């Protein structure tokens, strides 16, 4: 029987723009995603999160669903533009009240809130007037926003995540242009990432000094796919390691060691910003835990410049900077996003993190399966998703038994929702959403989670 520790944290997760809707209600300002979705052909079917699943008005119903399914923790993000419409300056008290009510509702139902300060929805004014994450003043602006959140919610919130997946912000937002704000560059991702890291660290320092009486803990969540060497040749082994360092080490190395990986410095030269000695001290050890979002695995091979290209989209960074070719095994099952289902890759990544960063406490803050669920006779039997969760949690269980400090797991996502550039075309949720009526319908995976949370395993 698969059993997890008694104190293992079971949760599920969402983000503000993907579920809240009410995009201009009660004083909320526009975010870069509100703007990006108005550009034709950026989002599948030209959809947007204006209504999403209307969590803003249905949060009590959603918390009741959470409780009924046995979850003990809920990770959600705050829409910066909902509480500070211009990103700085004037505070929108109605936005503050919404999150205060949500937090109270969670606590009333014995669900612990895990709050993410930034899940990609930068207030549009900061992008238009200050170039968003490209200018150094964003660091101080983020600190002020974090301070407001600590002041207003920190008496009840004890689990904070500063930034969700800064890699996505940097690469997809400022490199490939497929996510908001939609910029394309081979230099801006490294600059945006630099400021994201500093903003995280400065918010943490503020929390650890001015708000230490709140007795909470705070960290950052990074995303990473496992990179398995394509062969046992030294060149492919080095390529896989290099790919991980350009993906996860890019953000985790500064936070645990105080600086970027040496391989990035060597390859990027002046395109990689430099931390001052003071900044290195600021960022080093600036996370109480290792937040990890993980979904899939790819093979990594040395690019010998013979003209062969990666057979899968994306490679964890700017491809020409890494000299890595990625591929998938044709026998691996695929999700609706064409992400391969490779549970042993999850174990390998946890092991790599544990070894490289000296066995930190790890929380998997996202893990899930996208598919095209269909409602049949009022039910969704998402057996593929169930199989995915079973296999990945078995890998997690093995990691714990082998001494890796994995402390919690958050399933992505609580609901089907607006899936960024893919709109509403794919479904990640353990609860089905009828997008016409916005009715919530539990899937088989939600019912399974209730059983394993109750039994602490299966």
Q: Which domains does the chain have, with CATH numbers?
A: 9-455 (3.20.20.80)
- Strands 217-223 vs 226-229: parallel, antiparallel or unpaired: unpaired
Computed over every residue of the chain, the mean pLDDT equals: 97
Which tens digits make up the pLDDT trace of 70-101? 999 999 999 999 999 999 999 999 999 999 99
For residue 315, the model assigns a pLDDT of: 55
Which tens digits make up the pLDDT trace of 49-75? 999 999 999 999 999 999 999 999 999
For residue 313, the model assigns a pLDDT of: 58
Distance between CA atoms of 78 and 58, rounded to whole angstroms?
A: 16
Instruction: Pick the catalytic residue from 20, 188, 241, 366.
Output: 366
419 known member of a binding site: yes
For residue 320, the model assigns a pLDDT of: 83
Which tens digits make up the pLDDT trace of 355-409? 999 999 999 999 999 999 999 999 999 999 999 999 999 999 999 999 999 999 9
Q: What is the rounded average pLDDT of the residues 332-340?
A: 97
Which tens digits make up the pLDDT trace of 233-273? 999 999 999 999 999 999 999 999 999 999 999 999 999 99
164 known member of a binding site: yes
Annotated catalytic, 379? Answer: no
Distance between CA atoms of 278 and 356, rounded to whole angstroms?
A: 24
For residue 437, the model assigns a pLDDT of: 97
144 known member of a binding site: no
Distance between CA atoms of 36 and 59, rounded to whole angstroms?
A: 26
Annotated catalytic, 302? Answer: no
For residue 304, name the pLDDT band (cuts at 50, 70, 90): confident
pLDDT of 317 > 70? The answer is: no
pLDDT of 308 > 80? The answer is: no
- Strands 324-327 vs 290-293: parallel, antiparallel or unpaired: unpaired
For residue 145, name the pLDDT band (cuts at 50, 70, 90): very high
Percent of the chain clearing pLDDT 70 (strictly above): 99
Contacts of 365 (CB under 8 A, 6+ apart): 13, 75, 114, 161, 164, 221, 291, 292, 293, 410
Instruction: Pick the catalytic residue from 105, 127, 143, 165.
Output: 165
Percent of the chain clearing pLDDT 90 (strictly above): 96
358 known member of a binding site: no
Sheet strands (E) in 95-216: 112-118, 159-164
**pTM across the whole model:** 0.98
Give SS3 for 441: strand
């Amino acid at each position: 029987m698969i059993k997890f520790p008694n104190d293992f944290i079971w949760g599920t997760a969402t983000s503000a723009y993907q579920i809240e809707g009410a995009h201009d209600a009660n004083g909320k300002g526009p975010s870069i995603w509100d703007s990006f979705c108005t550009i034709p052909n950026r989002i599948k079917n030209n959809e947007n999160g204006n209504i999403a699943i209307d969590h803003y008005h249905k949060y009590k119903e959603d918390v009741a669903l959470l409780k009924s399914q046995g979850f003990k923790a809920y990770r959600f993000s705050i829409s910066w533009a909902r509480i500070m419409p211009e990103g700085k300056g004037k505070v929108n008290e109605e936005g503050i009240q919404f999150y205060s009510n949500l937090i109270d509702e969670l606590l009333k139902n014995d669900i612990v809130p895990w709050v993410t300060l930034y899940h990609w929805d930068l207030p549009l004014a900061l992008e238009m007037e200050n170039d968003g994450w490209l200018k150094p003043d964003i660091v101080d602006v983020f600190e002020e926003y974090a301070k407001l959140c600590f002041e207003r919610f920190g008496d009840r919130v004890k689990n904070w995540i500063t930034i969700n997946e800064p890699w996505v912000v940097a690469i997809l937002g400022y490199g490939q242009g497929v996510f908001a704000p939609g910029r394309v560059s081979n230099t801006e991702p490294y600059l945006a990432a630099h400021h994201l890291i500093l903003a995280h660290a400065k918010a943490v320092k503020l929390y650890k000094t001015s708000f230490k009486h709140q007795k909470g803990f705070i960290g950052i969540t990074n995303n990473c796919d496992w990179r398995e060497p394509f062969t046992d040749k030294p060149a492919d082994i080095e390529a896989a390691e290099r790919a991980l360092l350009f993906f996860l080490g890019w953000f985790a190395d500064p936070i645990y060691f105080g600086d970027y990986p040496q391989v990035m410095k060597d390859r990027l030269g002046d395109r990689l910003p430099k931390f001052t000695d003071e900044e290195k001290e600021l960022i080093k050890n600036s996370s109480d835990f290792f937040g990890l979002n993980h979904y899939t695995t790819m093979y990594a091979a040395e690019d010998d410049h013979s003209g062969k290209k990666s057979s899968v989209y994306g490679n964890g960074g700017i491809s020409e900077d890494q000299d890595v070719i990625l591929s998938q095994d044709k026998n691996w099952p695929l999700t609706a996003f064409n992400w391969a289902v490779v549970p042993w890759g999850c174990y390998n990544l946890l092991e790599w993190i544990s070894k490289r960063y000296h066995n930190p406490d790890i929380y998997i803050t996202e893990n899930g399966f996208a598919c095209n669920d269909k409602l049949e006779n009022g039910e969704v039997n998402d057996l593929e998703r169930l199989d995915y969760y079973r296999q990945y949690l078995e890998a997690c269980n093995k990691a714990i038994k082998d001494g890796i400090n994995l402390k919690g797991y958050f399933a992505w996502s609580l609901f089907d929702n607006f899936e960024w550039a893919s709109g509403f075309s794919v479904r990640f949720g353990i609860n089905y959403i009828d997008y016409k009526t916005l009715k919530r319908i539990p899937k088989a995976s939600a019912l399974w989670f209730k059983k394993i949370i109750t039994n602490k395993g299966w």
